[in-house]
A and B are shown apart, each in its own frame.
Chain A
Amino acid sequence: MKRVLIIAQQEFRQFALTRGFWIALLMMPMLALAGATVPLVLSKQRATDPYVIVDQQGGWAEIVEAGFERSWQREQLRALAEYAQRWTDSTRMPAALPSAGNSAAEQLAVDAALRELQPYLKAGAPRFEPPRRTFERVALPADIDANTEATRIGTALGPWLRGERRIETSGGPRRLAAAIVIPRGFSAAPGAPAIQIWNVNVTDDRIASAVRSAISDALQAQAWQAHGITATEVNNIRAITAPMQNFDPGKSGDEKRVSMADTLARIFLPILLGFCLFLSIQTVSGRLLTSTIEERSSKLLDTLLSSVTPNELLLGKLLGMGSAGLLMMTCWIGALIVAILVDPSFARGAGAIALQAIVHSPLLLGAVLYYLLGFSLYASLFLAVGCTARSMQEAQSLLFPIVMVTMVPFFTVQPVLQDPNGPIAVALTWIPLYTPYLMILRSAASPPLFQVIGATLLCLVFTALLIASLGRIFRWSLMGIEGRPNLRRMIGAALRPDTAQ
């Protein structure tokens, strides 16, 4: 065991000295940070897009503009709600403060909402900066006839839309983002001419969606009014939703109601932990594979194997690299917890719920246990290939079927999460290769105990047999394989009795 620990320590140190280890270690927190901040920064940096409206029918341009205005006000209120969450003293706050989705707050003007917040702002709170307008209406270029046929107007605006000519905006000359042409005779009636949206960037449907939403609302309101129902009544009717609460009889304690933390624990946390497990196993196992091939091709293995048994060497490698992988997972989850603790606004919202879900969930302990099991299993497979292959080319041909098999859990994430105790989930759970992933994905749904214990034991036995056969594969490969190694011959070597351990 002493030699196993020495090798484990060495493997860990060697891996920790590589750039790949630090890249992998920092990658997840960096990606999470980038994912959280980049869209925010980009949205702040994004310039207002100019558009023109040609309303040949009359009356619709104002409706579209009003729709855009409402959308911007909602954005402002959302930003204001985030500002309030971050910079006000929550203990002194009255209950009804503006927040996105709060219909009462939405009706308040932003200035009025800001005045309401003033007495509760913390010392040193910065001035509220409303988000930029997304869209700005600009005048139709003078040399285009607004009364000509709709398609001709769009075609004539081509040079402005393509950026060949610039249009005047409040922020200076810019490329025209879109042109909205509402043709003469437009209505909701079948066969009536349709609104034309002219836009070079067909993947950006923000303007089209906003126009569709504003005009659809107006058309529907007109239809309701024709039946004697006012716009306010329509809005009130639309706001009606069925009150509903989810309960879980399997939940421990008296509180059986399913909270947001429960939802996080059941959906996001298993996905997050499963992803971390997959990523760390792939990173660490990949390194294990390449280092073993390097040692084998450079004959360093001969020196090592004159000092230790193949089993000691392989166990040491598994232990050392497994520790490195565990450290990676700890750092990733730790970074998430630190991010939640450091950012007070995050800590009060979804972050706090996520943290609570992580800390209180049995999944965390389960993740560590199944990480160790999954790592031992997959790393043993990679190690078997590393022991056998004499070059990366040989390893790649051996790895292909193994990697294909290991990818299966990722194609089943959705059906398993939708029905964690369904036939697909149960069947995959009993396949040792997939047990670690499936148990993590299913554990929040309280699978039957016999499945947890049975499948875990089966996986343990399978892993133990795999590790035990590694030594045999290793010795067989060191004897000098004739021709290219393949999976059939590897399995044959693994099953061959061996006495010299």
Chain B
Amino acid sequence: MNRVVTATSLIKRFGALDAVRDVSFDVPRGSICGVLGPNGAGKSTTLRMLLGLIEPTAGRIEILGASNALAVRERIGFLPEERSLYRRMQAREAIAYFGRLKGLRADVARKRAAALLEANGLGDAASRRIEALSKGMAQKVQLLATIVHQPDLLILDEPFSGLDPISQEGLEALLRDLAGNGTTILFSTHVMQHAERLCDRLLMIARGRKMFEGTLAEARATVPRRVRLRTVSSTVQSLTELASVMRVTQEDEPDRWRVDLRVGSDPQTLLAACFERRIELLGFEAGDPSLHDVFLHLAGPETA
């Protein structure tokens, strides 16, 4: 696997507080990797360590082949959680400024800034000062400032916070486009739905510890599958004896059952077992567990 980021045994302590505890993970090239976890889980601290904004107490980081993000800063784009730009700068000027800091020539930075604004529906706002833009527009401008130098790795800290649903969809589309063009994206979020829709790789953190790392399918596989059955004259006993069943719970009505399968078991196996035991089925509903379920299962309900 061609890795863009490799973090090994990262630890970060702030005095007596263990913010990040022995976290290791990889980010493959070209992937969209979501760092998931509730507020205070250590997501931002982990990203800031990757960027060299804070030093790890212990552990090793390799980012785009370098041990220090500043050595490869021209290939990285970073959008912090709290958005801020120079209020008196014009939108185009702000994007070009950050492009120049990332190594672009002044004329190239200005051209790209204008093109990005135009392409993202902000052409009219190019000459307006940041303080005169709406919050959503300013956030968009900051994102454009983050990608103006066409980074290989884009790190976004809670990029969806504060955005309205339409802007969130627009951002998702933009991130998919960037990933489609080969940019590796690593973003943190505590909203599982964004990760579910976007990510092909996940890192789950709770209380500073890594809970999971892998693909979405692998994440779902960690949770026992749940099937809802509607049967004619079954008993708990008869259903519990079926292959791959871990637990059976009767729901509100006498013929309705919630069946938790053993980890790694497929609902199809249960369906086949039902047919084999000639259990009359009036309903069979097998759904994928949500990332929220996965997270609760891995980290425990108290972390949510």
Residues of chain A whose beta carbon lies under 8 Å from any beta carbon of chain B: 3, 6-7, 10, 14, 17-18, 295, 298-300, 302-309, 475, 478-480, 482, 500
- Kindly provide the distance from the CB of B100 to the nearest chain A CB, expressed in whole angstroms: 5
Please, which residues of chain A bring their CB within 8 A of the CB of B79? 303
Complex contact A300–B85 (CB within 8 A): yes
Instruction: Tell me the bound Cα distance from A306 to B52 in angstroms.
Output: 8
Neighbour of A299 across the interface among B15, B81, B86, CB < 8 A: B81
**Beta-carbon nearest neighbor of A17 in chain B:** B88
| Complex interface: chain A residues within 8 A of B70 (CB) | 309, 500
Decide if B51 touches A306 in the complex (CB within 8 Å): yes
Decide: A299 and B84 in contact? CB cutoff 8 A.
yes
Shortest beta-carbon distance, A485 to chain B, in Å? Answer: 14
> Are B14 and A6 neighbours in the complex by a CB distance under 8 Å?
no
A302 touching B14 by the CB < 8 A rule? no
Interface contact A479-B69, CB-CB below 8 Å: no
Proximity string of chain B (64-99) to chain A, C-beta cutoff 8 Å, 1 when within and 0 when not: 000011100100101111111110110000000110
Q: Which residue of the partner chain, among A14, A18, A302, A480, contacts B80 with CB atoms under 8 Å?
A: A302
Q: Contact at B14–A482, with CB atoms within 8 Å?
A: yes
A307 to B53, CA, bound (A): 10
Tell me the nearest residue of chain A to B68, going by C-beta: A500
| Neighbouring B residues of A298 by C-beta, 8 Å | 82, 84
If A302-B48, A479-B55, A500-B55 touch, whether A6 touches B100 (CB-CB below 8 Å) is yes
* Choice from B76, B88, B145, B155 contacting A14 with Cβ under 8 Å: B88
Taking a contact as CB atoms under 8 Å apart, the answer to whether B55 and A307 are in contact is: no
Please, what's the 1-or-0 string for B7-32, where 1 marks a CB less than 8 Å from any CB in chain A?
00000001100000000000000000
A residues near B52, Cβ cutoff 8 Å? 306, 500
Sort A-B residue pairs by CB-CB distance and give the 8 closest, nearest first: A298-B84, A306-B78, A299-B82, A307-B101, A302-B80, A300-B84, A482-B15, A299-B80
Contact among A299, A304, A479 with B101 in the assembled complex (CB-CB below 8 Å): A304
Report yes or no: A479 in contact with B78, Cβ–Cβ below 8 A: no
Residues of A within 8 A of B86 (CB): 10, 14, 300
**Any A CB within 8 A of the CB of B54:** yes
Chain A residues contacting B53 (CB-CB under 8 Å) are 302, 305-306, 478
In the complex, the number of residue pairs spanning A and B with C-beta atoms less than 8 Å apart equals 68
Q: How far is the CB of A91 from chain B (nearest CB, A)?
A: 55
Determine whether the beta carbon of B84 is less than 8 Å from that of A6. Answer: no
CB distance from B124 to the nearest CB of A (A): 22
Closest to A10 in B: B97
Hey, what's the 0/1 contact readout for B85-126 against A, CB within 8 Å counting as 1?
110110000000110111000000000000000000000000
Known: A17-B88, A482-B15, A500-B68. A303 touches B78 (CB 8 A): yes
B48 — which chain A residues lie within 8 A by C-beta? 302
Q: Which residues of A contact B54 (CB under 8 A)?
A: 478-480
Interface residues of B (CB under 8 A from A): 14-15, 48, 51-55, 68-70, 73, 76, 78-86, 88-89, 97-98, 100-102, 142, 145-146, 155
Contacts beyond the supplied A303-B146, A306-B78: 10 A-B pairs with Cβ under 8 Å: A10-B86, A302-B80, A303-B78, A303-B79, A306-B155, A308-B101, A475-B55, A478-B53, A479-B55, A500-B55
Q: Which residue of B lies closest to A309 (CB)?
A: B70
Instruction: Please indicate the chain B residues that have their CB under 8 angstroms from the CB of A475 in the complex.
Output: 55
The CA of A500 and the CA of B86, in the complex, are separated in Å by: 27
In this complex, which of A10, A298, A307, A308 has the most chain B Cβ atoms within 10 angstroms of its Cβ?
A: A307
User: How far apart are the CA atoms of A309 and B71 in the complex, in Å?
Assistant: 10
Contacts of A478 in B (CB 8 A): 53-54
A303 & B100 in contact (Cβ 8 Å cutoff): no
Closest chain-A Cβ to B42's Cβ sits at a distance in Å of 13
**Minimum distance in angstroms from A443 CB to a CB of chain B:** 39
Q: Name which residue of chain A comes closest to B142, CB basis.
A: A303
Quote the shortest CB–CB distance from B162 to chain A (angstroms).
13
Query: Measured between alpha carbons, how far is A17 from B52 in the docked complex, in Å?
Result: 32
In angstroms, how far is the closest chain B Cβ from the Cβ of A388?
Answer: 15
- A119–B51 Cα distance when bound, in Å, is 83
User: Is there an interface contact between B85 and A6, defined as CB atoms closer than 8 Å?
Assistant: no
Given that A478-B54, A479-B54 are contacting pairs, would A307 and B84 also be in contact in the complex, using a CB cutoff of 8 Å? no
The complex places the Cα of A154 from the Cα of B89 at a distance, in Å, of 69
B81 touches A306 (CB 8 A): no
Chain B residues with CB below 8 A from A295, complex form: 84
Query: Which chain A residue lies CB-closest to B89?
Result: A14
User: Do A302 and B100 have beta carbons less than 8 Å apart?
Assistant: no
Q: A478-B54, A479-B55, A480-B14 are in contact. Are A303 and B84 (CB under 8 A)?
A: yes
A6 touches B55 (CB 8 A): no
CB distance from A349 to the nearest CB of B (A): 44
From A17, A18, A303, A480, contact of B98 by CB (8 A): A303
Q: Kindly list chain A residues whose C-beta atoms are within 8 Å of the C-beta of B142.
A: 303
CA distance A305 to B155 in the complex (A): 14
Q: A302, B78: Cβ atoms under 8 Å? A: yes
**Residues in A neighbouring B73, C-beta threshold 8 A:** 306-308
Minimum C-beta distance from A478 to chain B (A) = 6
B59 CB → nearest A CB, Å: 14
- State the Cβ distance, B258 to closest chain A Cβ, in Å: 45
Min C-beta distance of A146 to chain B, whole Å: 72
Contacts of B98 in A (CB 8 A): 303, 307
Q: Which residues of A contact B68 (CB under 8 A)?
A: 500
State A300–B146 Cα separation when bound (angstroms). Answer: 12
Chain A residue with the shortest CB-CB distance to B106: A6
Q: Using Cβ atoms and an 8 Å threshold, which residues of chain B touch A18?
A: 88
Least CB distance, A41 to chain B, in whole angstroms: 38
Min Cβ gap A482→B in Å is: 5
CA distance A7 to B98 in the complex (A): 10
19 A-B pairs with CB atoms under 8 Å apart are A3-B101, A6-B100, A14-B86, A299-B81, A300-B86, A303-B78, A303-B84, A303-B145, A304-B101, A306-B53, A306-B69, A306-B76, A306-B155, A308-B101, A309-B70, A478-B53, A478-B54, A479-B54, A500-B68
Question: B84 touching A479 by the CB < 8 A rule?
Answer: no
Most buried by B among A17, A306, A479: A306
**What residues on A are CB-neighbors of B145 within 8 Å?**
303
With both beta carbons as reference points, the residue of chain B lying nearest to A499 in the complex is identified as B55
Instruction: List the B residue with the shortest CB-CB distance to A305.
Output: B53
B83: chain A residues within 8 A (beta carbon)? 299
Hey, which chain B residues are within 8 Å of A307, CB to CB?
73, 98, 101-102
Interchain CA distance A18-B14 in the complex, whole Å: 38
Task: A478 to B73: give the CA distance in the assembly, Å.
Answer: 18
Residues in B with CB closer than 8 Å to A309 are: 70
Contacts of A480 on B, CB cut-off 8 Å? Answer: 14, 54
